[in-house]
Structure formats: C-alpha cells, structure tokens
Amino acid sequence: MAELAKQPSITTSEVKLEGLSPWKEAGKAFCRNKLALIGLGIVLFFIILALLAPVIAPYAFKDQELSKRLLAPSSEHWFGTDDFGRDIFSRIVYGARISLWVGFFSVLGSAIVGTILGIVAGYYGKWADTIISRCFDIMLAFPSILLAIAVVAILGPSLQNALIAIAIINIPNFGRLVRSKVLSVKQEEYIMAAKAIGMKDRRILYMHILPNCLTPIIVQATLSIATAIIEAAALGFLGLGAQAPAPEWGKMLADSKQYLVQAPWTLFFPGVAIMLTVLGFNLMGDGLRDVLDPKMKQ
C-alpha cells in the first residue's frame, strides 16, 4: 500500500491529452497561437468576400461612368473610382475571386505533380532520382518570376496560362520537399518489414509513405499560396496575367500607376488587398509549421 501511495498521480488533463488524436492535438495547439488565428481570420475574410462578391459589391466590376472618373473615396464610392469611373471597392471584392482562385488551384496542381515526382525520385532512386532531381535543379536555377514570364510568353498572356506558369515554377519546391521526406521514411523498420512480407510498392506508397508526407505538404502549400498570389499579381502588373476588364489586383496596380500623384487611392487599396491576403496566408502557414513540424515543437 505504501508503494502504491508513492506512485505519481495522473491528472484529468493528462488523461485527456493522451486520448487526443495527433490532429486534434495540433488543432488545439493552433488555436493557442494568436498570430495564426489572426492569419486564419484574414484568409476566411477574403474567402467570404470572394464567395459573396455579387452580394457585397455595390456595383458590377465592369460598370463604367466616365463622368465619375478618379473620384476620391466617399460614401457613394468607399474606395473611390478609377480612370474609367469604375468603383474600386467592387473591383477589389471581385478581384478576391481571381487571386484566391489562382492561388489555390496553381498550388494544388504543383503539389500533386511535385508530390508524385518527389515520391518516385525518393522511393525508387537510381536513374529516376537522377533525372527528376536534375530537372528540379535546372528549374530552380532560374528566378521564379523570370521562369513564369517565359512560360506565359510561350503559352500567351491570359489568366489560365498565368495559373499554369505559377503551378510549373512551384513544382520543384514540393518535389524536393517530398523527396527528402521519402528518403528518411523508407529507411524505417516498418517499411522494410512491409517489403519483407511481400507488400507491393503501390500499397506501401499509399498506406505508409504518402501519409508521412502530408504534414510538410500542407505547410508548404499554405505558404506557397501566398507566393502564388504575389506571382499572379506580378504577372498581371506586367500585362501577362488577367486581361482587361478582369479586376485582378496586379492589373489594377498597373492600370493606375500613372495616377500615383493625382489619385493615389487607385493604387493604395489594391496594394493593401494583396498585402493583407499574403500576410494572412503567411501567418497561418507559420502557425501550421509550428504545430505540425516536430522540429519546431519545444
């Protein structure tokens, strides 16, 4: 009885933590990160803005009224008007659809292709690893924006081609990340045991390798969306992305740069929209990295 009394007692909170799944525990840790929650709030705000654009925007983004061109912000036009008399607030609201669409789907495409190539290179090795890794090195040797410009120049300037270009230039980031993870995971004892009992490679990749790669992929994807939005805005600013009259934020900056002194609000509000969106994804991505990356945990 005395020996039992000396044993440390287990508190209720410890029992609850032991019963939590890794994802639930990560969710609770994420909710304790104030900056991550701020980033999540910003991202959700712009997602809601994009989904409810026809309801929120007081005007259609194409509506022109030359008699009201370059009006300063007022109760009628909250963010003022541009050089064609179009309501800037409405164009920013609709522009959220374009920026988020390009960000999400370009990263989704690059994540899928990069993950497949990374798994093949890391798991099978030999000539497959050599060819894929050298292709990644060649692509990473070029500045990303220059490579995107080259791709769009070949395909032609449009929003869809800009999305394809952004997806292509981000493939090496996911590929190298997944490859390094696969190289470490395939040396684990349970992988060797699975091979020893005759489990097929396809099943090993699906059941064991891919699930262990999901955490870094999720973190990289969140941070890459922010980069993709900036790259889309850069291509739009250069006239290689969305074409007029699409309300793409980078294109809005390009169309308004000559009115910097006369009507600074035409550049200020699209610039703030880009900055806030990128900030939101970066804060959320940093929070996910702190929660999901074992090296970042104390």
d(CA 41, CA 46): 9
Determine the pLDDT at residue 22.
66
Determine the pLDDT at residue 282.
93
Please indicate, yes or no, if residue 233 is contained in any of the structural domains: yes
Determine the pLDDT at residue 281.
94
Determine the pLDDT at residue 114.
94
Please indicate, yes or no, if residue 127 is contained in any of the structural domains: yes
Please indicate, yes or no, if residue 241 is contained in any of the structural domains: yes
Please indicate, yes or no, if residue 121 is contained in any of the structural domains: yes
d(CA 106, CA 102): 6
CATH number at residue 274: 1.10.3720.10
Determine the pLDDT at residue 204.
81
Determine the pLDDT at residue 61.
87
Please indicate, yes or no, if residue 11 is contained in any of the structural domains: no
Comparing C-alpha atoms, which of 217, 206, 193, 196 is closest to residue 288? 217
Tokens of residue 291, six digits: 């929660």
Residue 203 sits in which domain range?
37-56+81-292
Determine the pLDDT at residue 211.
83
Burial of 199 (0-12, 13-18, 19+ CB in 10 A): middle
Determine the pLDDT at residue 10.
44
Please indicate, yes or no, if residue 27 is contained in any of the structural domains: no
Determine the pLDDT at residue 39.
92
Task: Say if CB 89 and CB 79 are below 8 A apart.
Answer: yes
Please indicate, yes or no, if residue 14 is contained in any of the structural domains: no
Please indicate, yes or no, if residue 12 is contained in any of the structural domains: no
Determine the pLDDT at residue 13.
41
Q: Where are the alpha helices (DSSP H) in the chain?
A: 2-6, 12-19, 22-31, 34-51, 53-56, 88-124, 126-140, 144-155, 159-185, 189-196, 201-204, 210-237, 249-256, 265-292
Determine the pLDDT at residue 173.
92
**Per-residue pLDDT reduced to its tens digit, 141-167:** 988 888 999 999 898 888 899 999 999
Which residues are registered as beta bridge partners of 87?
81
Task: Report the domain count for the chain.
Answer: 1
d(CA 160, CA 137): 26
d(CA 234, CA 262): 23
Predicted confidence pLDDT, tens digits, the chain (298 residues): 444 444 444 444 444 444 456 667 777 877 888 888 999 999 999 999 999 999 999 988 888 888 888 889 988 889 999 888 899 999 999 999 999 999 999 999 999 999 999 999 988 878 888 999 999 999 989 888 889 999 998 988 888 999 999 999 999 999 999 999 888 888 778 778 877 887 887 888 888 888 888 888 988 999 999 999 999 999 988 888 888 788 889 989 988 888 888 889 999 999 999 999 999 999 998 888 888 765 555 4
d(CA 77, CA 39): 28
**Per-residue pLDDT reduced to its tens digit, 205-242:** 888 888 888 888 988 999 999 999 999 999 988 888 88
Name the 3-class secondary structure at 87.
Answer: strand
Look up residue 72 and give its amino acid: A
All residues at 6 or more sequence positions from 170 whose CB lies less than 8 Å from its CB, including other chains:
106, 107, 110, 114, 144, 224, 227, 228
